[in-house]
With several copies, the nearest count.
Chain A
């Protein structure tokens, strides 16, 4: 039907929207395919998980960061004191102006400040819930439940907050490569904090659309981590480019562990590197959630199981899972745009 007559503005706008949608669809498909067969539940943790609580957490800061994100600083002493790296909160969006959001939204704990009794969350405005969350003002309180889930753990580190020791017991990790994209950076920042505490040398890939949209630059600087910023606008975030760069950088000594969050294709790249270097890879996943506590069974992880057996749940068995290594499936997924 090419060359139809009516190229009205309405028709042209509809055409643009269609093209944008097709690009987005292609990326989402690649991202989902990249996780296929990649994920396994982690072995039982040796660190006991803190008891979750709920709290009315006053909003101390709510500001726009970069071009696309918002940062919340919440006062919630119990959670700030007990949360482990990579754990998350369920944030209940308060009703406002007729908008009623029923389900709380899962959000990673980006930073923990136990001395101030505060935590930080960085989020992107995506759908109805986060749009309504963006209307919350400083001085209001948010109902938060947490800390929740199984976070990132450095291999063989008995207690993530303990001082590193060369004494008896297995050898703790000494170097770590962390890879985060977009808000996925928030899931790994707790581990950057832990690395700083434990004297682990952290190299952090921060990926995003543009420099202005990179999350965590200041945090990494504060925590003394080495940052590799990569962005879409200069092509540095493209998977082949990033892969080559990391292979070159760690050619001599690979990191002791790779932690990754924010895109299926990045998780697959991490798994490729982990396979090549023979180091463990931990991946933090997302899933739609209602309870965050393991009882609603809503957050099935993309792990194939016997149809008669329920697979792992992202909220309690994750959100952090092990990548199945060495990688056997074709690494094709990682070639999609990153």
Chain B
């Protein structure tokens, strides 16, 4: 039993900031999403990041940040409980409270701008026609847009817009008319063909797809078998969904030429490399940040270390080595 000696009022957080590794010219972790080049392929998942995290981790070491989904008009979000943890993972039914595009521009975007990395603004809508107006109302704020088509769809009795290739096509086409900025389409898990969905996004002009959102689930209390969440249904996230999402990323990567950004249960550098090995070109970290706020930055740092150790210039070649 060893007990660390008393510390002067410093903390692991400041030590982590200080441990920033030197950038190595020998390794190139950059990734292009349309016209935008990210310094490295690691970023947060929408809804699992906010500017307040900027006080806890060196956000400048990330490739980008992604905002919580912004809707056109204000939404209050769902009733409590909005999240819980069960053995299968974390389940949330936050319900995307939003102050609307104007509220975002006034209250949140200025904070995101202070972070010093590209800002990807996540955009939501209840119908396929609702996305383009939000992007217009954002008046050019943000370096790219992630179109969250994994929200309940008012047009088709509550199924996801993103499960219908035609609706995806429409969303992207309409948004494309509003902006030249890079567009990422974030797809849902419960689709019969992720390949068709990814192809629809690509055909309509998207610059990347993000695979995937959380998996709809219904957690019950152990005692009375009643729903834990105020909204009954929520999205399952965390490491247990990783093998499900790995398959989707594998299929999507084989279906399209545009980059696939993997999102689902990434906690470690190995998890990220799993996704790179099935074709992903970038990764988003969601649930893992709650337990270990520095997880994303740790992954970005370790990707460089792994490349240096293997004496390769980029992640693509690192993957080839594992497969050799």
Give chain A's interface residues, CB within 8 Å of chain B. 1-2, 4-8, 10-15, 18, 21-22, 24-25, 51-56, 58, 60, 75-79, 81, 92-93, 100-104, 116-117, 128-129, 137-139, 141, 143, 145, 287-291, 293-302, 305-311
Within 8 A of A (CB), among B307-323: 308-313, 321-322
Which residue from chain A places its CB closest to the CB of B269 in the assembled complex? Answer: A14
Distance in Å: Cβ of A249 to nearest Cβ of chain B: 35
Q: Check A102 against B82 for contact (C-beta < 8 Å).
A: no
- What 17 new A-B contacts, CB under 8 Å, besides A54-B293, A102-B288, A291-B50? A7-B308, A15-B310, A53-B11, A53-B12, A55-B11, A75-B7, A77-B6, A81-B9, A92-B291, A102-B238, A128-B85, A143-B12, A291-B48, A291-B53, A294-B52, A297-B97, A300-B80
Residue from the set B50, B51, B308, B313 with the largest chain A CB neighbour count within 10 Å? B308
Chain-A contact segment, one of B19-27, B122-130, B146-154, B245-253? B19-27
CB distance from B1 to the nearest CB of A (A): 4
* Distance, CA A56 to CA B289, complexed state (A): 16
Chain B interface residue count, Cβ-Cβ cutoff 8 angstroms: 74
Q: Do A1 and B53 touch across chains, with their CB atoms under 8 A apart?
A: no
Given A295-B52, A297-B68 in contact, is the A55-B26 Cβ separation under 8 Å? Answer: no
Nearest chain-B residue to A287 (Cβ)? B80
Rounded to whole angstroms, the CA-CA distance of A56 and B52 in the bound complex is 20
Residues of B within 8 A of A302 (CB): 80
Within the complex, the shortest CB–CB distance from B76 to chain A, in Å, comes to 5
Expressed in whole angstroms, the Cα–Cα distance for A57 and B316 within the complex equals 38
- Give the residues in chain B near A102, CB-CB below 8 Å: 85, 89-90, 238-239, 287-288, 290-291
Q: Which residues of A contact B224 (CB under 8 A)?
A: 21, 25
**Least Cβ–Cβ distance between A100 and chain B, in angstroms:** 7
A18-B309, A53-B11, A78-B9 given as contacts; is B82 within 8 A of A299 (CB)?
yes
| CB–CB B9/A311 < 8 A | no
Report how far A5 CA is from B22 CA in the complex, Å: 10
Expressed in whole angstroms, the minimum distance between the Cβ of B149 and any Cβ of chain A is 20
Residue B116 interfacial (CB < 8 Å)? no
Mark interface residues in B85-100 (1 if CB within 8 Å of A CB, else 0). 1010110101001110
B94 engages A54 (CB within 8 Å): no
In the bound complex, what is the Cα–Cα distance between A109 and B159 (angstroms)? Answer: 43
Contacts of A101 in B (CB 8 A): 85, 291
Q: How far is the CA of A69 from the CA of B84 in the complex (A)?
A: 22
The chain A residue sitting closest to B323, CB to CB, is A25
Chain B nearest CB from A202 CB (Å) reads: 28
Is there a chain A Cβ closer than 8 Å to B223's Cβ?
yes
In the A-B complex, the 10 residue pairs with the closest CB atoms: A295-B50, A14-B309, A310-B97, A4-B26, A139-B1, A77-B9, A55-B11, A298-B83, A15-B309, A78-B11
Q: Who on chain B is nearest to A138 by CB? A: B1
Chain A proximity mask over B50-68: 1 for CB below 8 Å, otherwise 0: 1111011000000000001
CA A4 – CA B22 in complex, angstroms?
A: 12
- Determine if B110 is an interface residue (Cβ-Cβ < 8 Å): no
Task: Determine the chain B residues whose CB is within 8 A of the CB of A288 once the complex forms.
Answer: 80-84
- Residues from chain B with a CB closer than 8 A to the CB of A60 are 3
| Contact status B11-A54, CB under 8 Å | yes
Q: Which among A52, A55, A302, A310 has the highest number of chain B CB atoms within 10 Å? A: A310
Kindly state the separation between the CA atoms of A186 and B304 in the bound complex, as whole angstroms: 44
A241 to chain B, nearest CB (A): 29
Query: Cα distance A77–B294 when bound, in Å?
Result: 20
Measured between beta carbons, the chain A residues less than 8 angstroms from B294 are 54
Residues of A within 8 A of B81 (CB): 287-288
CB < 8 Å neighbour of A52 from B55, B83, B289, B322: B55
Distance in Å from the Cβ of B304 to the closest Cβ of chain A? 8
Chain B residue with minimal CB distance to A308? B74
Kindly report which residue of chain A lies nearest to residue B223, judged by CB atoms: A21
Are the CB atoms of A77 and B97 closer together than 8 Å?
no
Instruction: Report Cα–Cα, A8/B3, bound state, in Å.
Output: 27
Distance to closest chain B CB from A18 (angstroms): 6
Contact of B308 among A4, A58, A139 (CB under 8 A): A4
- Give CA–CA (A52, B293) in the complex, Å: 12
Could you tell me the distance in whole angstroms from the C-beta of B57 to the nearest C-beta in chain A? 9
Give bound CA distance, A54 to B224, whole Å. Answer: 34
Contact call B311/A139, Cβ cutoff below 8 A: no
| 10 interchain pairs, CB-CB under 8 A | A10-B302, A53-B11, A53-B12, A78-B10, A104-B290, A116-B6, A143-B12, A291-B290, A295-B53, A299-B82
Which residues of chain B are within 8 angstroms of A117 by Cβ–Cβ distance?
6-7, 9
CA distance A92 to B12 in the complex (A): 14
* Contact (Cβ within 8 A) A138 B290: no
Q: Is B2 an interface residue (CB 8 A)?
A: yes
Residue pair B6, A6 in contact (C-beta under 8 Å): no
Output the nearest chain B residue to A297 by Cβ-Cβ distance: B94
A104 to chain B, nearest CB (A): 5
Q: Smallest Cβ distance from B160 to chain A, in angstroms? A: 20
- The distance in angstroms between the C-alpha atoms of A10 and B304, with both chains bound, is 10
B98: which A residues are within 8 A, CB to CB? 310
Question: Which residues from A are CB-within-8-Å of B50?
Answer: 291, 293-296
A207 CA / B10 CA spacing, docked (Å)? 37
Query: B102 to nearest A CB, angstroms?
Result: 13
A288–B90 alpha-carbon span in the complex (Å): 11
